[in-house]
Amino acid sequence: MTAILETGGKQYRVAEGDIIYVEKLTAEEKAEVTFDTVIAVYEEDKVKTGSPYVDGVTVTANVIKNGKAKKIIVYKMKPKKNYRRKQGHRQAYTKLQIKSIVLPKEKKAAAPKAEKAEKTKKVEE
């Protein structure tokens, strides 16, 4: 089973056991995080989509670590104008391991109605 969840303005396709890097979350290391912003869920050959989110579906993940990515250099220059600016940037991230994808329990209302109909027939006979 896989799901598409939204966090930090981005969408991630995840399955149980996957490790993903997301925008920095406020959770501590070794904490558990729950996402309820699930856009779609794929079960074998069934697909459930939400508008915008699927009701009752949650994705649980464990925080492995909070860190910063490699430094990138932002360099601006305008030739012949003596304009040069050099700046570095390290993006903060949270490393997550997906623990479980929980679906809501489906109600089976058709089966009890059929049983009630059979009981009423027996009483009438």
**Whether pLDDT at 114 is above 70:** no
**Whether pLDDT at 122 is above 80:** no
What would the DSSP string read from start to end of the chain?
-EEEEEETTEEEEEETT-EEEEE--SPPTT-EEEE--EEEEEETTEEEE-SSS-TT-EEEEEEEEEEE---EEEEEEETTTTEEEEEEE--EEEEEEEEEEEPPPPP--HHHHHHHHHHHHHHH-
Position with higher pLDDT, 105 vs 95: 95
pLDDT in tens, 44-73: 889 999 899 999 999 999 999 999 999 999
pLDDT at 66: 97
Grade residue 105 by pLDDT with cuts at 50, 70 and 90: confident
pLDDT at 104: 87
